[in-house]
Structure 1
Amino acid sequence: MSLPVLKNRAARRLFLDRHALAEQPVGPAKGDDLLALIRRLGFVQLDSINTVERAHHMILWSRRQSYRPGALKRLLEKDRRLFEHWTHDASVIPTEFLAHWRLRFARDAETLRSRYRDWQGPEFEAKLDEVLARIAAEGPVRSGEVGEDEARGKGGWWEWHPSKTALEFLWRSGQLAVTRREGFAKVYDLAERVYPEAPALSEAETIDWACGAALDRLGFATTGEIAAFWAKVRPEEAKDWAARALKRGEIEEVAVEGADGARRRSFARPDVIGAADSAPEAPARLRILSPFDPALRDRARAERLFGFHYRIEVFVPEAQRRYGYYVFPVMEGDALIGRLDARARRAEGVLQVAGFWPEPGVRMGKLRLRRLEAELDRLARFAGCDRVAFDPGWLRP
């Protein structure tokens, strides 16, 4: 039996709507409104790179340009309506999902002990009780405040001393929580002092929730994409869930057309074609996205859906880079039209644009250039800069 076909433009429309990119980036962006946006996305990835603004702030700003970083800090560190833990990477997550993270805590405790032992050595295990006892007696700590007598590395990002490794293990396994960040450094406290009480759920309940919630936020997905969304469900568990949900009529199979016309078998909620047809058209204005934007996190899916081949060239030698090592994708409507290399020179009040590379076939006429310059002005203000400056030859072929 042939599958219903979700055409590429309709698939993009639905996908962008589920990622809050099919509407104008206006409206309130604090308190309940900001929490609702993060709940809609599922989570927001944290990242330390700060060439213009940190990734989590740019993700939220690109959807609500009234957003300011203090609003996220309040929800996370004061109101405790968000908590920080792990999806595919460190992320902020609605606290209402905390009960479903018990499974993550248990699985991380099982897998990370052997992984950390192989990577950092077994010494951290002897520090677990010591670190817990110190925090219980003295209160929150940063990694630099424990293991004072332990050898430190010489600046490598992953050169953890044993007590730092113990802190991370205890956090990932749910015994500690990140109570706040100072700069970008995590401050750890006992989990019971930070997390509210959460009901006990069975493994099956969490797997069912995680798979359904992932599919609802993606619009359509393979079982691999469902498993990867929260990165807590195993691939075989996502396959079993899909088989059961399909039998119950809770989902259906659909062929999703890519940018190149190829079709990929996926799962979706019933009447996904109607949902895609009723989804709004993305506005024509330009948006500058974070490299870690949730719509682009899965690079292979972004290429299939938008025809946009995107990698961050951090480890590519400068002479071999086609673009800057950390370029920002630029979206117009439902298309990704280019990539931007920019840096905030805050001491001088300048957002410096080193380059913009249009995608093949994208012509930078006067109207599109005006839209880009207008978005750069908005980004400069968000980054605390007064003006935008352009390097000679910034508009690249």
Structure 2
Amino acid sequence: MAELTVSRSAGARFLLNQLQLGVARPSRRLTLAQRIRQLEAVQIDPVARVGRNQDLALMARAPGYEPSDLDDLLAAGQVFEYRAQEASVLPMDDYPLFEGVRQRLRLRLKEELTRHQEVVREVLDRIEREGALMARDFATDRRVLGYWDSDQARTKATSHVLNLLYDAGCLVIAGRQGVTRRFDLPERRVPAPLLDQARAIDAEEADRLLFDKYFRAYALVNSKSGRLGWSGRPMAWRRERLKQLEDAGQIVRVTIEGVDRPYFLRSESLMELEQWQAGERGWHRSVRFLPPLDNLLWDRDRLTDLFSFYYRWEVYVPPQRRTFGVYAMPILIGDRLVGRMDPELERATASLVIHNWAWEPGTRVTPRLSHDVTRALEAWAKRLGANGVRRV
């Protein structure tokens, strides 16, 4: 059974490089589709205090990226949206890999869809006749308990059904206007060969392929993560899959010095991790601002293990209990997370407002560091469409 022991520094640099936050300056040679393919997934979130999470994550990696670039990819059918790291943007070629997830969701949602079968028929009939539609295209006074309702029915019945049909794989996202989604039939948006593959693939095989995709996306995998594999299969199934891959030599167990938690990586990445451990590669001191759902932050335990950086997104924390702010974004310089800031894009004044700024304990705030961060923040604000930065 192969096993490797590496330092925290080597593990951190390996991970950053795998997640396109690493050794070189951001490459302009990769197309956006290629970048998403290498990342495997980019998480989506409707909170847009500064910008959409998916846009901020790609801005940290892709010079010249514009939000319309991703919207164009989605409209062109080169990517699709579905549940991986929660709601995510994914390469269209991976559509069949989620068939096991879709089948289980269809089964789980069958009773709810039956309860609203008249609305289901209305929604599907209109989309079939009229093409892609948004939730606001459906007018109804009927309210039901939606996903985000607790004790009172506040969600439009048609909006609830659109969400159910999307989760069940009966509808796909055809495009976006900001955070607003347009729904369409899979037959009109997913290439026919991929639809055929999805219909033919065995759910067990789809889950195994999705497990492999998860390994590529996470690069250095915490085997205790509740999201392990993205399929939602029982942990016993996921442990067995880990054992199968390890026994077959396809993954390698990794020990991080000073860390009790076990990690794994794909065997084909072993040489690169060994190079980082040997200190054979240099590093670039780029300054990057990471959104709360950036790929690097997906596993908070791993973040603590490798970077000694504790992170909690405080958007759902009551204001009086927040420490760093509602949208606190980590600040990455080179291979270190040196602090965090709480920004807000004030669109009425075209200003980037910084509500809070906190350096990590032990960070030496030198004149060079301050200069580099200030220049990076001004450039970032300009990319967001702000005319300047204001700290309050």
**TM-score surpassing 0.5?**
yes
Aligned equivalent of 2:131: 139
Structure 1 letter corresponding to 2:347: R
Residue 163 (1) aligns with residue 164 (2): no
Q: How far apart in 1 are the matches of 2:288 and 2:80?
A: 28
Aligned equivalent of 1:16: 16
Alignment of 1:35-114 (within 5 A): 35-77=33-75, 79-113=76-110
Q: How far apart in 2 are the matches of 1:111 and 1:378?
A: 47
| TM score, norm. by length of structure 2 | 0.88
- CA deviations over 1:256-281 (Å, ceiling 9, x no partner): 33xxx223222223375532133555
Asked if the contact 1:57–1:69 (Cα under 8 Å) also holds between the matched residues in 2, the reply is yes
- CA deviations over 1:36-95 (Å, ceiling 9, x no partner): 111111111111222222111010000113111121111111x21001111132111100
Structure 1 letter corresponding to 2:90: I
Alignment of 1:142-153 (within 5 A): 142-146=134-138, 148-151=140-143
Q: How far apart in 2 are the matches of 1:196 and 1:157?
A: 35
Aligned equivalent of 1:315: 316
Asked if the contact 2:98–2:207 (Cα under 8 Å) also holds between the matched residues in 1, the reply is no
Q: How far apart in 2 are the matches of 1:60 and 1:272?
A: 23
Aligned equivalent of 1:363: 364
The 1:380–1:84 alpha-carbon spacing in structure 2 relative to 1, beyond 3 Å, is: same
Structure 2 letter corresponding to 1:175: C
Q: How far apart in 2 are the matches of 1:36 and 1:139?
A: 29
> What's the offset of the Cα at 1:365?
1.7
Q: How many residues align?
A: 379
> What's the offset of the Cα at 1:233?
4.6
Residue 196 (1) aligns with residue 188 (2): no
Aligned-residue Cα RMSD (Å) equals 2.6
Q: How far apart in 2 are the matches of 1:202 and 1:152?
A: 35
Aligned equivalent of 1:296: 297
Partner of 2:379: helix, strand, or coil?
A: helix
The 1:330–1:205 alpha-carbon spacing in structure 2 relative to 1, beyond 3 Å, is: same
> What's the offset of the Cα at 1:25?
4.7
Structure 2 letter corresponding to 1:9: S
Structure 1 residue ranges (4+ consecutive) displaced by more than 6 angstroms after TM superposition = none
- CA deviations over 1:162-183 (Å, ceiling 9, x no partner): 2222111111111111111223
| TM score, norm. by length of structure 1 | 0.87
The 1:320–1:245 alpha-carbon spacing in structure 2 relative to 1, beyond 3 Å, is: closer
Q: How far apart in 2 are the matches of 1:317 and 1:222?
A: 30
Q: How far apart in 2 are the matches of 1:271 and 1:50?
A: 37
Partner of 2:378: helix, strand, or coil?
A: helix
Aligned equivalent of 1:246: 246
Structure 2 letter corresponding to 1:287: R
> What's the offset of the Cα at 1:282?
4.3
Q: How far apart in 2 are the matches of 1:239 and 1:327?
A: 34
Asked if the contact 2:47–2:53 (Cα under 8 Å) also holds between the matched residues in 1, the reply is yes
